[in-house]
Amino acid sequence: MTARDRTIRIIGPLSIVAIWQIAVSTRLLNPGLFPPPSEIAANFVAYAGSGELATNAAWTLSRILIGLLIGGIPGTLIGLAMGMNGAVRAYFGPIIALLYPIPKIAILPLFYFIFGTGEPAKWAAVAVGVFFLMAINTEAGVRQIELIYLDVARAYRLRPVTVFLRVLLPGALPNIYAGLKLSIGIAIVLAVAAEYQLTRTGLGFAIFNAQQLLDVDRLYAALVAVSLLGLMLSALLDALESVVLPWRAHRSAPSPTVL
């Protein structure tokens, strides 16, 4: 990334904030519904200082991370099996194609019926969303491995465990990692959505609670917290990418501006 692009990345969000601020101060936007960014920031700092946001964010984060594990591990394993074996692919392919399009938010009530109002219902909601993304991306990752690498594995009589751990897994890893990045997004959406009902913790609860109290300030503070949580998680994954995929570290050169 060039210095110019780095600057543009910072200017982008700031320009929206500036336009918003101007629109509110010139009464183009209703400050009752759209408080000026300066006020949102001040409120956010106040709520963050009280510890309320941090506690709620910690609850949401725990649901995201546990859901990622519960959904991501089986999703990755089934994706690997589908990528390696035609029969497994034939079995799971149609099942995933049928279930994946169902909006996960629509089946939240089902999780409350099954798991009650405790944590497992929220973990399940996140896990289901993550499961499909990981299974689909991992399968694609295995199947896009170039056949030449499998020829090498056979020509040099690599043991099956080596083929799995040192050919198929690293070959699929870039797609698995891309699936993980997508999963972070869906995990945040589902964790917050699951916190709307039957709970008194989490950023989703904070948003729902602010809505009921018509407290626009707290609503925005919670929204900012959700946004920052997502930014933090994806920044973490970006930073870890060169550790997890070191052979691609030098490939992440900026794609040139074509037009």
Question: Residue 90 is encoded by which pair of tokens?
Answer: 């034939």
CB closer to another protein out of 65 and 245: 245
State in angstroms the smallest separation of the CB of 155 from another protein.
Answer: 4
Residue type, 232: M
182 is written with which tokens? Answer: 């997508």
Helix axes 119-143, 52-84, angle to 10 degrees: 40
The least CB distance from residue 86 to another protein, in Å, is 16
Check if the beta carbon of residue 75 is closer than 8 Å to that of residue 128.
Answer: no
Residue in 166, 235, 240, 242 binding another protein, rule: CB under 8 A: 166
Contacts of another protein in 75-134 (CB under 8 A): none
Nearer to another protein, 113 or 156 (CB): 156
Taking the C-alpha atoms of residue 253 and residue 214, their distance in angstroms, rounded to an integer, is 47
User: Tokens in use for 65?
Assistant: 């991370």
Q: Does 252 bind another protein (CB under 8 A)?
A: no
38 binds another protein (CB under 8 A): no
What region, left, alpha or beta, does residue 198 occupy, with left being phi > 0 and alpha being psi -120 to 50 degrees? left
Identify the residue among 86, 246, 254, 256 touching another protein (CB under 8 A): 246
Rounded to a whole number of angstroms, the minimum distance from the CB of residue 159 to another protein is 6
Per CB under 8 A, does 162 bind another protein?
Answer: yes
Nearest to 171 by CA among 140, 195, 202, 212: 140
Residue 196, both tokens: 């709307």
Nearer to another protein, 91 or 149 (CB): 149
What would the x/- binding string for another protein be over residues 137 to 156, using CB under 8 A? -----------xx-xx-xxx
- C-alpha pair distances (Å), 138 with each of 77, 102, 197: 8, 20, 33
- 154's CB contacts (< 8 A; 6+ apart) are none
- Residue 198 binds another protein, judged by CB under 8 A: no
**Beta carbon nearer to another protein, 96 or 172:** 172
- Of 246 and 256, the one with the shorter C-beta distance to another protein is 246
Q: What is the distance between the alpha carbons of residues 216 and 201, in angstroms, rounded to a whole number?
A: 19
For the segment 206-245, give every residue that binds another protein (CB under 8 A).
245
Least Cβ distance, residue 93 to another protein (angstroms): 23
**Residue ranges binding another protein (CB under 8 A):** 148-149, 151-152, 154-159, 162, 166-167, 170-171, 173, 245-248, 250-251
